[in-house]
Chains A and B, each alone.
Chain A
Amino acid sequence: MRVTFTANGKPVEADDVWEGESLLYVLRERVGLPGSKNACEQGECGSCTVYLDGTPVCSCLVAAGQVQDREVRTVEGLSEENGELGLVQQAFIDAGAVQCGFCTPGLLVQTDALLDRAPQPSDTDIREALSGNLCRCTGYEKIMDAVRLASARKCQKVGTAE
């Protein structure tokens, strides 16, 4: 089948898609967006998290056909329009929250969504929001630091803009 949808603001089209393919497979293998990661492919690890019409989902659990005419935003779409790193991306690097980095794309999308709805989350809020994203390298301490840093910078930025 043919699937057409919007990925990071651009129309994309995938041909010869087998009905059993996931959105994750289509992104990674058919439309050249391998940033979303394939760690478990059964919705347990969160590495493949993307926005689907603005809601974070595990793209491995979304059938390719379900995204017809919908909007997908992946880790590749988190940077600023001028190509500069987004606020959450920069915070993850600065805080040392990236080691192997395989969990990073999913965590970035999930953190972005968290700070969108709660710009100043408590530590427990952060842990709850990110509890579906497994990381095997960091022990999560630096990820906590990264989210706190992103939150502080975001609030500062909003404060400055206001």
Chain B
Amino acid sequence: MTTRTIRGQKNLQDITTGSPHGIGGSPLRPDGTLKVKGEFAYSSDMWHEDMLWGMALRSPHPRATILSVDISEALKTPGVYAVLTHEDIPGSKYYGLEIQDQPALAIDKVRYHGEAIALVAADHPETARRAVKKIKVEYEVLTPITTEEQALNPELNGYVHEPHEYKSHASGNICHSQKLVHGQGVTEEVKALADVVVRGEYEVGMQDQAFLGPESGLAVPAEDGGIDLYVATQWLHVDRQQMAPVLGLPEEKVRLTLAGVGGAFGGREDLSMQIHASLLALRTGKPVKIVYSRDESFFGHVHRHPAKMTYEHGATRDGKLVYADVRLVLDGGAYASASPAVVGNAASLGNGPYNIPNVRMEAIALYTNNPSCGAMRGFGAVQACFGYESQMDRLAAELGMDPVELRQLNAMSEGDYMPTGQQIDSPAPVAELLQRVKDMPLPPPLDLANLDIRELPGALSNTSHGEGIVRGIGYSVGIKNVGFSEGFDDYSTARVRLEVIGGEPVAMVHTAMAEVGQGGITVHGQIARTELGVEKVTIHPANTEVGSAGSTSASRQTYMTGGAVKLAAEAVKQALIAKGRKRYGWTHPDLDLVGGKVVSASQGALVSMVDLLGDEAIDLTREHHHRPTVPFDKETGQGFGHVQYTFCANRAVVDVDVDLGLVKVVELTAAQDVGKALNPLSVIGQIQGGCTQALGLAVMEEIIVKDGKVRNASFTDYLIPTILDVPPIPVDMLELPDPNAPYGLRGVGEAPTVSATPSIVAAIRQATGIALNRIPVRPEHLTGTL
């Protein structure tokens, strides 16, 4: 057998850090040094001495019947080791996060532009590219189903999945639906109680996660017939759970190790190249690396659901909300991905952080031949927030009220009830967060005499020297849940080992948590230090040798896997103290581990951990389960469905060039309750990063899909904010502990991505007086040339 060298594996070994910082401090990232030295091995950096390159053939059509696939010419290409189609799949041909509706390789039809049909393994990426071009596919091209009207009329337009193929309980081209009725719903009697009514239709374009590290990984065939996969993902165990049946292998023969992850934001919740590389590696007997190009990345992962939303709000003359009547239509695209859960979030969170006595809501996700949509930061709460916050501004204008005061008047707080009937049983400082962003100092007004044109809309393009520039200010607030909902037992596992290494006590933390950049491993070190009174902590590589850590999504990892590390560390502490009691006969009730010693609060240090441990290692694994939730009732939407809620408020200040329709966000302020900031530097980084993705959705980011075809699959044409587009983002962090959560913490990653977008649009509206019912706002929306 050949010597197997996977190059660049420093982060695939234990990383040890020493730091005095426990929770509440901001120690440096354990992976920071490797990252700034260029030595941190991302999934695309994996390299094996005899590896092949894998590549997929993807459909140019959004909807077609596959009449034939001829791989013979491709197979003859020198340097090509294998060409595979669905016929070569040894196990189940379908996979999926919630509904197993997606073929690993297209079978008899393609359902979206970019669907994978065949795979090539070759000795060089260019060889693979040329071989892919030689695969001949005969299609019968069909008219794609791309709109709500088309999808809801299957008699005329047919089905994305034939009815007998449905793995979902919904019908027609509806992937999932959730209704909700709160109070008396919306009846004529209820409507009669409202003095004013505002109604709006809103639209959200398709946003992309646009993480920088492309989908990639290395699959290495193992001697036992299994596979070792080094991959960038958000959840190792759910990848394995979906891969094993397709590969025809038992789960224990599918071993995953987390390679460096270059961002995720929901786009790595679904499988991308995992099955493909593994199929090629198992067939050829050689390691196979797949690295998506940027354009393939746009086709290779799900996006944020585009939405069409109808909101009607009734209120009394003094501004009290009476009812909300809401319909949310999410385009789920060709395959279900996380659509059912996204719908659940949209329905349950889609009325915002407001007390509305009567609500009628329906949220649906459609199957269409558009690109598949699923998880992206904010997960179903983002689209709705643009809708309800636009409505709040409209209502405030109708009533002649201050938009912040209107929001505060209706803001929910601890003890209030969600429209789902769930009581908010921890702090919900919605009104206070709004007050905080309102009270923060404003940036200086535009000074036409002392302009640096680089700070104006259009910036370096030298499009204005101050003429036609108007300033506006807007506010918004949003709500997001933390953790997986609707009855899902969303647990995390952590293993903590304590032993003496080099004369000092060292804690090792081993989890399967996907570190995607958020800093979870930094926090694990802090928790271990706090609980065990050590300085040195080793982070073991994340892999499937330990139990599941759940997904790095839903703002849940510090809560869930951080909570598991806390439990495991506490268990190790108790085991060590028990060892001391047995050896020394201590009877003190007040023992703790501090500064490398066992300490009694009343009598001081008793013994060093080094002496007590000796040659023994204490190695314990614990699972952390959050409190149970229940599924929402299908018809009424009632149920204790969410684990925790999180809130963020924003104020945006914008300058708009009304002649050219260009927007410069001057400042974007955020106030967020984080419960307890385990690592303030990282928490602020999350809030600022989350605000920035919201800015992208407000004014620049959209995958343009025309007739089911993606038109801008590149960073030339899909614009994400640059450092010139992003303003200073002052953050006001509130820490009101949640009694149900470890250390009182609240998940932080998503709330700002939910809430910040509408504040920017509100500011543009204030500057221009234009209604703006669609995001992203484009220049033509502002110049009236649309």
Given that A37-B213, A42-B294, A93-B28 are known contacts, is A79 also in contact with B37, CB under 8 Å in the complex?
A: yes
- Contact, CB under 8 Å: B35 / A104: yes
Chain B 1-51 interface residues, beta-carbon cutoff 8 Å to A:
7-8, 26, 28-29, 31-33, 35-42, 44-45, 47
Which of A63-71, A129-137, A154-162 lies on the face that meets chain B? Answer: A129-137
Given that A42-B715, A101-B40 are known contacts, is A137 also in contact with B263, CB under 8 Å in the complex?
A: yes
Please, how many angstroms separate the alpha-carbon atoms of A91 and B590 in the complex?
Answer: 42
Which of B607-615, B619-627, B721-729, B758-766 lies on the face that meets chain A? Answer: B721-729
Please, how many angstroms separate the alpha-carbon atoms of A141 and B685 in the complex?
Answer: 8
Asked if A53 CB lies within 8 Å of chain B CBs, one says no
- Contact, CB under 8 Å: A41 / B210: no
Chain B residues whose CB sits within 8 angstroms of the CB of A51 once the complex forms: none
- Contact, CB under 8 Å: A34 / B36: no
- Contact, CB under 8 Å: B518 / A99: yes
Chain B contact residues, majority secondary structure: loop
0/1 interface trace, chain A 6-49, chain B, CB 8 Å (1 if under): 00000000000010110000001100111111111110110100
Chain B residues whose CB sits within 8 angstroms of the CB of A57 once the complex forms: none
Given that A85-B33, A139-B729 are known contacts, is A75 also in contact with B38, CB under 8 Å in the complex?
A: yes
- Contact, CB under 8 Å: B294 / A98: no
Smallest Cβ distance from B416 to chain A, in angstroms?
Answer: 31
Please, how many angstroms separate the alpha-carbon atoms of A134 and B126 in the complex?
Answer: 27
Please, how many angstroms separate the alpha-carbon atoms of A32 and B38 in the complex?
Answer: 11
Interface residues on B, range: 35 or more
Please, how many angstroms separate the alpha-carbon atoms of A149 and B781 in the complex?
Answer: 40
Smallest Cβ distance from A141 to chain B, in angstroms?
Answer: 5
0/1 interface trace, chain A 62-89, chain B, CB 8 Å (1 if under): 0000000000001110110000010001
0/1 interface trace, chain B 701-736, chain A, CB 8 Å (1 if under): 000000000000011100010111010110000000
User: Closest residue of chain A to B716, judged by CB?
Assistant: A44
The 8 Å CB contact of B38, one of A20, A35, A130, A141, is A35
- Contact, CB under 8 Å: A139 / B726: yes
Smallest Cβ distance from A36 to chain B, in angstroms?
Answer: 7
Chain A contact residues, majority secondary structure: loop
The 8 Å CB contact of B262, one of A29, A102, A126, A130, is A102
Given that A96-B681, A101-B262 are known contacts, is A140 also in contact with B692, CB under 8 Å in the complex?
A: yes
Asked if A138 CB lies within 8 Å of chain B CBs, one says yes
Smallest Cβ distance from A5 to chain B, in angstroms?
Answer: 18
User: Closest residue of chain A to B31, judged by CB?
Assistant: A101
User: Closest residue of chain B to A79, judged by CB?
Assistant: B37
- Contact, CB under 8 Å: A124 / B455: yes
- Contact, CB under 8 Å: A18 / B714: no
- Contact, CB under 8 Å: A134 / B722: yes
User: Closest residue of chain B to A132, judged by CB?
Assistant: B722
Smallest Cβ distance from B439 to chain A, in angstroms?
Answer: 21
The 8 Å CB contact of B26, one of A33, A92, A96, A138, is A96
Smallest Cβ distance from B555 to chain A, in angstroms?
Answer: 15
Residues on B lying within 8 angstroms of A by beta carbon are 7-8, 26, 28-29, 31-33, 35-42, 44-45, 47, 124, 126, 210-214, 260-265, 291, 293-294, 452, 454-455, 460, 516-519, 681-682, 684-685, 688-693, 714-716, 720, 722-724, 726, 728-729
